[in-house]
């Protein structure tokens, strides 16, 4: 069965499997980025109560210079008391049938890759991109400000930038959907804690700084500034930059290293497979 909304019954199942996820889904919805707007739900029911779920999200990407619609499989779960009865397998088959002829590429993230290998998914290695500056940077430019989910102006600003965003790379960049970006950040931090707006550049960076390392998770804007411009604004004391996405638009000097963030699995063609790449963390469904 396919349902077009996230109702209280389905949210209860998700909360049983991932405690606290319901509150974070609710927070993203209160900001205007509902889960149900982007996720098609395949469910097994007992009466009105869902006992198993597979979600499917369409993710527009740029891959190897071309625009592609990629299918993201996510939130695969079964009620703990109903596991081992074939519900997940049946829903995966339903979801894959719905993707046939629609997506050439499907992706998912999982800690149990052997479960999905039987459905034609394979593990694909990702990378992170590291640039060592040699000497700590200094920040002479205007400092960004952290966005707040309590500010309607900040939420509108974020929505505008997400709607018109440029890809961070023509090798692999993500163009949406905006709700996936916001949900991923809310799931990770409980809010918009890592989002910083650079007014003069009109971009949002998703970043953290610790121990002299700037960790960049995404850059969102109609154009991507070079790394030097970002370091002028956030780089005080930074001697190492780690990008969790392909940093082509930021400039050169990065070295690719194997990433240990989790298991990306792919079904179908992925033109950048076998080369250094990464799906930006806020597009990992």
Confidence of residue 236 (pLDDT cuts 50, 70, 90): confident
36 lies in the same domain as 66: yes
Instruction: Give the tens place of pLDDT for each residue, 72-103.
Output: 999 999 999 999 999 999 999 999 999 999 99
> Pairing mode, if any, of strands 213-220 and 240-243?
parallel
CA–CA gap between residue 113 and residue 108 (Å, rounded): 10
pLDDT given at position 27: 96
Question: Could you tell me which residue, 216 or 4, shows the higher pLDDT?
Answer: 216
**pLDDT band (50, 70, 90) for residue 9:** confident
- Per DSSP, 64 falls in state T
- Whether 229 is covered by a domain: the verdict is yes
Residue 31 lies inside a defined structural domain of this protein: yes
How high does pLDDT run on average in the chain? 93
Residue 23, phi then psi, degrees to nearest 5 = -65, -35
Instruction: Please tell me the predicted confidence (pLDDT) of residue 118.
Output: 96
184-200 per-position pLDDT tens digit: 999 999 999 999 999 99
Read off the pTM.
0.93
Find the domain containing 173 and state its range: 129-257
In a shared domain, residues 274 and 251: no
> Are residues 147 and 243 both part of a single domain?
yes
Residues 109 and 139 in one domain: no
| Claim to verify: residue 83 and residue 145 sit in the same structural domain | no
Helix segments in the chain, DSSP class H: 8-17, 21-30, 87-99, 113-117, 152-163, 178-189, 227-234
Is 285 contained in some domain? no
One domain, residues 144 and 35? no
The answer to the question of residue 39 being in a domain is yes
Q: Do 116 and 42 have their domain in common?
A: yes
Give the count of domains, the chain.
2
């Amino acid at each position: 069965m396919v349902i077009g909304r996230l109702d209280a019954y389905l949210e209860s199942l998700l909360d049983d499997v991932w405690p606290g996820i319901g509150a974070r889904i609710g927070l993203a919805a209160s900001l205007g980025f509902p889960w149900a707007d982007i996720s098609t739900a395949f469910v097994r029911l007992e009466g009105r109560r869902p006992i198993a779920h597979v979600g499917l999200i369409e993710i527009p990407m740029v891959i190897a210079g071309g625009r592609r619609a990629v299918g993201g499989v996510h939130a695969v779960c079964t009620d703990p008391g109903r596991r081992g009865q074939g519900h997940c397998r049946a829903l995966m088959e339903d979801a894959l049938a719905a993707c046939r002829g629609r997506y050439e590429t499907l992706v998912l993230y999982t800690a149990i890759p052997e479960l999905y290998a039987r459905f034609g998914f394979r593990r694909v290695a990702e990378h992170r991109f590291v640039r060592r500056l040699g000497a700590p940077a200094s920040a002479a430019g205007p400092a960004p400000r952290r966005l707040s989910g309590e500010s309607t102006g900040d939420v509108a600003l974020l929505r505008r930038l997400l709607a018109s965003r440029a890809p961070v790379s023509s090798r692999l960049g993500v163009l949406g959907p905006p709700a996936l970006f916001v949900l991923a950040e809310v799931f990770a931090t409980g809010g918009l804690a890592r989002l910083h707006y650079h007014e003069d550049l009109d971009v949002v960076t998703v970043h953290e700084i610790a121990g002299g390392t700037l960790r960049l998770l995404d850059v969102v804007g109609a154009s991507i500034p070079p790394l030097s411009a970002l370091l002028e604004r956030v780089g005080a004391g930074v001697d190492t930059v780690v990008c969790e996405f392909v940093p082509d638009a930021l400039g050169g000097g990065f070295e690719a290293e194997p990433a240990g963030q989790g298991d990306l699995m792919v079904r179908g063609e992925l033109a950048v497979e076998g080369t250094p790449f990464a799906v930006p963390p806020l597009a990992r469904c």
